[in-house]
Structures are given as structure tokens and as C-alpha cells.
Amino acid sequence: METATFSCTSGCARTSVVSRRPAAAPVPRQAKMAAAATPFARGSAKLCTAAPRQAGVQGARAASVRVQARGGRRGEPDDGLEERVVQISRVVKVVKGGNQLRFRAVVIVGDGNGRVGVGCSKAKEVAVAVQKASLDAKKNLVEVPITKALSIPHGIDIREGAARLMLRPAAEGTGVIAGGAVRIVLELAGVQNVFGKQLGSQNPLNNARATVKALSQMRTFRQVAQERGLTIEEMFAFQPKAST
């Protein structure tokens, strides 16, 4: 606070008080550069949404790992199902008012003992999309026949959309020779020895659905014998050719 004296033309002196605001502290140069480097300072919508999206995907993967270890979410009974997040993608719906951003999650659940299912759902948040996809997968569980060698009963070729899939049984000790979503479905179903090959599209959702469809169409020898009205011994009985 300072005091200043002014004199007018008539010779009288007036005293007034002048107040000044203290000067702001200088901002360091490094702080200015850090603020300018943030996505929000540049005003880029893509950069602003990239960080939350990456954090959401990492959070969903961490939540999936916790669910696998625990066997169920908090407040839900343990049903013995293990779930894995196969894909999380960002989808945009174009409307009159602008673009609506949402996330799509593909989740596979299984108990490792002949039950497996695939679910897909969308939501505005990654965690909600994963939860809805998990519930959808549990509603679409299928029974998978598994042999004593922990393999499939027979080979099969199947098509689902643009995906083409080939599955062949393997001897004990071979392992799961497959990749991508096909491998995850087979492992969660409890199949430990099998050959698999993706011949068409590489889309994880289509390949996962094709694998579940192929496993649901598997039939054991006993089921085939019952359909034919025979016993297993009669179906595999050796019938020599008639001599001419």
C-alpha cells in the first residue's frame, strides 16, 4: 500500500491512498512446457480420448485377471466359470447431434470341464461392457463332449460368417495347437489335445463363435450308436466281405 499527494490548480493539496496487487510469482519454464504437452492443452479430441481408453482397457484386463483368480465378481456366487476378455474395441454411432462413443467387449467363459460360451456387448464404459458380455456368455453356454484323451471325438470343418475353421483330434500329450480366440475357447472348454486352424477371417468374435458352434455339433460314439439303434459293439463289429 502506498500514499500519493496530488495538487490541484487552486493550490490545495490532496492525499490519496493507492493500493497495488502483489505481482504473481513467475511460472517456471518446465511447467509451461509440461502444460503445453498435455492433450487437453492442444485441444485434440483424439488425444483426449486416447488416455482414458488405454486406462479403461488396462483396467478391464486387470479386472479379468482378478475374476479368473476369484472365480466370480464381488457379491456374486462362485459358479466355477473362468472368463477371459478377448477383445475390446471402440465403436462410434453417428447421429444427428454428433458421434456417440461406446466400447464393445468380447468375453469367453468356461469351466474347463465341457462347458464354454461366447458373449459380446457394448456400453459407454469398458467395465460395464465386460460385465454385460460376461452375462451374455453365461446365457449361451454349450456342452462339449470330451474323450478320455482330453480331445474332441472327431474332426470337423465349419463356417461362421467370414470365418472358416478346421478342428482335428490329437493324441494325448499333443497340446492345443491353435491360436487366437480358437485357442482360448478350447482351453476354457477343457480340451487339451487338438489341432485347430483358422482358414478365413481373423476376426476374434467370428472365430470364437465358429469354435463354439463346432464344439456344440460334436457327437460321441455312444450318441451315434443310439441314433442308429445299435450298440457300440455292433457299430464297430467287423463284417467280413462275402466271398464270391
How many Å apart are CA 168 and CA 156, to the nearest integer?
7
| Residue owning grid cell 486406462 | 55
Residue range(s) occupied by CATH 3.30.230.10 in the chain: 144-219
What's the pLDDT at 226?
Answer: 85
CATH class of the structural domain 144-219: alpha beta
How many Å apart are CA 153 and CA 158, to the nearest integer?
15
% pLDDT > 70, the chain: 65
What's the pLDDT at 210?
Answer: 94
Residue range(s) occupied by CATH 3.30.160.20 in the chain: 45-143
pLDDT reading at 47 higher than 50:
no
pLDDT reading at 135 higher than 70:
yes
Query: Could you tell me the three cell numbers for 33?
Result: 512446457
**In the structure, what pLDDT confidence band is assigned to residue 155 with cuts at 50, 70 and 90?**
very high
CATH number of the 45-143 domain:
3.30.160.20
pTM: 0.65
**In the structure, what pLDDT confidence band is assigned to residue 235 with cuts at 50, 70 and 90?**
confident
pLDDT reading at 92 higher than 60:
yes
Average pLDDT of the residues of the chain: 77
pLDDT reading at 173 higher than 60:
yes
| Bridging pattern class, strands 176-177 and 194-198 | parallel
HEC secondary structure over 96-164: CCEEEEEEEEEEEEECCCCEEEEEEEEECCHHHHHHHHHHHHHHCCEECCCCCCCCCCCCEEEEECCEE
Q: Are 74 and 98 in contact (CB under 8 A)?
A: no
Nearest to 155, CA basis, from 191, 108, 117, 113: 191
Query: Could you tell me the three cell numbers for 172?
Result: 494325448
